[in-house]
Amino acid sequence: MAKNDGLILKMENITKTFPGVVALDNVSIDLRKGEVLGILGENGAGKSTLIKILAGNYIKDSGSTYIDGVKKEFKSPAEAMASGIRVIYQELNTLDNLTVAENIFVGEQITTTPFKIINWKEINSKAKELLQHLGANLDPNIIMEDLTISDKQVVEITKAISKKATILVMDEPTAALSEGETQSLFKLIRRLKESGVSVIYISHRLKEIFEITDRVTVLRDGKKIATVDTLRTDNDELITMMVGRNIKDMYPKRELPIGEVIMEVNNLVAEGVKDVSFNLKKGEILGIFGLLGSGRTHLVRTLFGVNSVKKGEIKVNGKKITIRHPKQAKDNNIGLVPLDRKADGLALFLGVKENITLANIEDLGNGFLIKKQVEREKARNWISNLNIKTPGIDTVVSSVSGGNQQKVVLARWLESGSKIIILNEPTRGIDVGTKIEIYRIMRDLCEDGSSIIMVSSELPEVLSIADRILVMSKGRITSEFSRKEANEEELLQSACI
Amino acid sequence: MADNPVPSSLKRERKFYLSNTLILFIVLIVMVLLFSFTSKSFHSVYNLVSMLSNLSFIGIVAAVLTIVMIAGEIDFSIGGNIGLTSCVAAFLLDRGINGWLVILICLIMGLAIGVFNGFLVTNVGVNSIIATIGTMSIWRGLAFTLTDGKSILAINPVIDYLGRGTVFKIPFPVILFAIVFGVCYLVMDHSKWGRKVYATGVNPMAAYLSGINVKKVKFVSFIFCGMAAALGGLILTSLTAVGMPQHGMGLELTIISAIVLGGTALGGGKGKILGTLVGILILSVLYNGLTMLNVYYYYVQIAQGAVLVAVVSTYEIRQKKRY
């Protein structure tokens, strides 16, 4: 039975669970024709899951979806696209080895009869037309690989529009854009609004929500908190809805003694690292802030032995060390919780206990055999110490939530006896509750004499947790701030030099 | 909240795995019973002994190849290795070299073959499928070159015992198989190095970042595989009393089928030595049983292929892949 209430999209009581976790709990949202609806929420709130259900990637457990009043069940992305839904993902889904025009018209070659030969001239000119219609001046013949992320995004949007998208979903579109590029994107979104396209704009950046959305729905821990008119709300109200508690409680207080220098890096030169020098003191949390491409991950890789040192030295406890392989880093009691925990941090098909003991297999028994009892005890120890939520120690680690997976990787390095722990974006993609736990764990570790290097692009996090902050840009350290001196503007300025 | 969580079918992976081996065992027992009832010669002692001896030399290679596959690689050159080993052994015996020395030399050659394969894959970085298909031809070609395409008789008390000797009426190859299988099981299921192999196969990057020397793990597994294939070649030479460059031709496919049947995935990281045992048993019993029933040989080939496809299909269907 078709309902006619002027809504182009209505999702009612959507519930989706995964093993061990309720990703969405009776969430309802609606989208009016021609509006920009923001979906706001912390990492892990359920935004991605909701969108993947809308896009046909995931199948919901219960609830209904109505497109323009008609109830629809999408069993695949193709079905969702046929109903006018297009999603521009944060990572983009471009075919980088093809041209702009080929990307726009993929799946729909324009051919000339009688031989069904592809008419490139027509494809290119149509592509140019569509691009210009959206205010972009791109050459349709350029290979996608050579474009900036901002331009790639424009191509994706053009592709969506050419396929008559009526509902355009943009998932964290500005993560990799500069301020200027963000403004161009907003101009484009306004143009789309005018031509009748309805937009769902997912973000965790308040500034953008206020700039571009008409209404905003806030999600938290899988539940919908509220939907409000953007004009009628403010920062404080949105933050309270997003976080659910006073934000000042998020970051535990630290007044801990900081000891002597435990690690010295002098004039380090390596791939992506132009000339870096810094110290790390015992018991300190050293934050490294920088934007995409600043060289932070390159620095991390060099410190951990993945990339080779071209010039300069690394000293631990006063002694110069050579690290050419992660094993050597490990032997010097350095540990790494990598940026992409799924791809680089976890053996997804192995259990929680195997992942915890992965860096310290040698200690699982005296000879060449593993004593299962020893392994079980070690696993249980860390599971309780770090409060890792898992159905059991043998549970396959892929079915444990992101925050707990992160704890597993951290437990691995603690088990291996690391005293210097490098964390690359430690709370990325993690729910608020676990984030706070991880901050507390970090503080406790420092109290016990460990030292932490935390690479992060989340300003509130860096400003509240780190004792000292180094800012990186283009492979160099541009400035250093103590926690008291640091503030958002100066950090960002330093990061853009 | 899980970010990009994995569908629930994957959580059942561990439970699913155990019940899989169980199903395989049941299939095996049913087959053995069926054949025993329909063919008098199937369960004759002579037949069982000969079937076990045959499957033992295959099983030795399969058990160790399973380790290579769990590490995420593969070795197609085992067949060529067997052929070359058999020819070298017969060649040396023909020139009067001592049987024990011949065994030693062949095992060292197997080690060298493993080193070469390992070097190509881990040091040079050639994909193991391509590398070992290439070396497969090299070893096979060397075998043909050595014997000029002919076969050489291989009769020697020491070598004869390898394939046809018995210990308390149990064929010696079966004893060897039990030892090799037992060691492989111990290593993969209970040892530190075995854990490193699993880690390497499941996620080489995560293993590397945890301080595991992934290249070394793979290299060593290739060496073990080379030596196992050489041992298999020696046993086969003994069983047939002849060194032939054709020995072991096509065996790589049978062995890999048995391993995959047993639940080891081609991608690495998943697999159990026990599974390989059952896989080998199923394929051997099938081959032997149908032969005893005088089934036309080519139908037997079809049957073996069909069983492989059917069983692996059940694994894949249970995974419920969406694309």
Domain A7-249 and domain A261-495 have a common topology? yes
C-beta atoms of A354 and B195 within 8 A: yes
What is the per-residue pLDDT for B7?
Answer: 42
Which residues, 6 or more positions from A91, have their beta carbon under 8 angstroms from its beta carbon?
A: none
Q: Where are the domains of chain A?
A: 7-249, 261-495
Q: How far apart are CA A359 and CA A338, in angstroms?
A: 14
Identify the band that residue B146 occupies on the pLDDT scale cut at 50, 70 and 90. very high
Q: How far apart are CA A319 and CA A315, in angstroms?
A: 5
Q: Give the CA distances from residue A452 to residues A279, A300, A313, in Å, rounded to whole numbers and listed in that order.
A: 12, 12, 19
Which residues, 6 or more positions from B234, have their beta carbon under 8 angstroms from its beta carbon?
A: B85, B86, B89, B103, B106, B159, B162, B163
Indicate the number of domains in chain B: 1
Beta bridge partners of B50: none
Kindly report the CATH class assigned to A7-249: alpha beta
Q: Tell how far CA B197 is from the center of its chain.
A: 17
Whether B265 is covered by a domain: the verdict is: no
Closest CA to A312 of A289, A261, A262, A278: A278
Burial B285-312 (b: 16+ CB within 10 A, else e): bbbbbbbbeeeeeeebeebbeebbeebb
Query: Which residue is closest to B268 within chain A, CA to CA?
Result: A349
Q: How far apart are CA B268 and CA B65, in angstroms?
A: 12
Query: Which residue is closest to B205 within chain A, CA to CA?
Result: A344
pLDDT at B203 over 60: yes
Whether B285 is covered by a domain: the verdict is: no
Contacts of B186 in chain A (CB under 8 A): 369
Interface contact B202, partner A, CB < 8 A: yes
Whether B27 is covered by a domain: the verdict is: no
Closest chain B C-alpha to A327 CA, distance in angstroms: 4
What is the per-residue pLDDT for B1?
Answer: 36
Which of B1, B3, B188 to mutate to test binding with chain A, by most A CBs within 10 Å of its CB?
A: B1
CA atoms within 13 A on the CB side of A193: 17
Whether B170 is covered by a domain: the verdict is: yes
Query: Which residue is closest to A404 within chain B, CA to CA?
Result: B2
Burial B168-202 (b: 16+ CB within 10 A, else e): eeebbbbebbeebbeebbebbbebbbbbbbbbbbb
pLDDT of B47-80, one tens digit each? 888 888 889 999 999 999 999 999 999 999 999 9
With left for phi above 0 and alpha for psi between -120 and 50, is residue A243 left, alpha or beta? alpha
What is the per-residue pLDDT for B6?
Answer: 42
Lowest mean pLDDT among A401-410, A480-489, B3-12, B286-295: B3-12
Q: How far apart are CA B34 and CA B235, in angstroms?
A: 30
C-beta atoms of A359 and B13 within 8 A: no
For residue A129, with 0-12 CB atoms within 10 Å meaning exposed, 13-18 middle and 19 or more buried, which class applies?
exposed
Amino acid code (one letter) for A303: L
Contacts of A395 in chain B (CB under 8 A): 11
What is the per-residue pLDDT for A246?
Answer: 57
Whether B9 is covered by a domain: the verdict is: no
- Cβ distance A178 to A166 under 8 Å? no
Report how far apart the first and last C-alpha atoms of chain A are (Å, whole number): 59
pLDDT at B138 over 80: yes
Paired tokens of A89: 């993902």
Alpha helices for A348-401 (secondary structure H): 352-356, 372-385
**A188 phi/psi in degrees, rounded to 5:** -65, -45
Write the ipTM: 0.87
Whether B171 is covered by a domain: the verdict is: yes
C-beta atoms of B1 and A325 within 8 A: no
- The CATH number of the domain covering residues in A261-495: 3.40.50.300
Contacts of B10 in chain A (CB under 8 A): 396, 398-399
Q: How far apart are CA B6 and CA A400, in angstroms?
A: 9
**Sign of the C-alpha dihedral, residues A227, A230, A234, A235?**
positive
pLDDT of B209-243, one tens digit each? 999 999 999 999 999 999 999 999 999 999 999 99
Q: How far apart are CA A337 and CA A295, in angstroms?
A: 17
Q: Give the CA distances from residue A495 to residues A91, A204, A277, A359, in Å, rounded to whole numbers and listed in that order.
A: 23, 21, 17, 34
**Sign of the C-alpha dihedral, residues A229, A235, A236, A238?**
positive
Query: Which residue is closest to A60 within chain B, CA to CA?
Result: B7
Each residue's pLDDT, cut to its tens digit, for chain A (497 residues) gives 445 577 999 999 999 988 767 889 999 999 999 999 999 987 678 888 899 999 999 999 999 999 998 999 999 999 999 999 999 987 788 898 999 999 998 877 677 766 778 888 888 998 998 888 888 888 999 999 888 888 888 898 888 888 888 999 998 888 777 778 888 899 999 999 998 999 999 987 788 899 999 999 999 888 999 999 999 998 888 888 887 765 555 666 666 778 899 999 999 999 999 999 999 999 999 999 988 778 999 999 999 999 999 999 999 999 999 999 999 999 999 999 999 998 999 999 999 999 999 999 999 999 999 999 999 999 999 999 999 989 889 999 988 888 899 999 999 999 999 999 999 999 887 777 788 889 999 999 998 899 999 999 888 889 888 999 999 998 999 999 998 888 888 888 888 77
Interface contact A101, partner B, CB < 8 A: no
- Count interface pairs A-B at CB distance under 8 A: 132
What is the per-residue pLDDT for A107?
Answer: 76
Q: Tell how far CA B311 is from the center of its chain.
A: 18
Interface contact A401, partner B, CB < 8 A: yes
Identify the band that residue B45 occupies on the pLDDT scale cut at 50, 70 and 90. confident
Q: Give the CA distances from residue B70 to residues A92, B254, B269, in Å, rounded to whole numbers and listed in that order.
A: 33, 17, 5
Could you say which residues from 1 to 40 on chain B have a Cβ atom under 8 Å away from some Cβ of chain A? Answer: 1-8, 10-11, 13-14
Q: How far apart are CA B200 and CA B248, in angstroms?
A: 29
Domain range for residue B127?
A: 44-248
Closest chain A C-alpha to B267 CA, distance in angstroms: 12
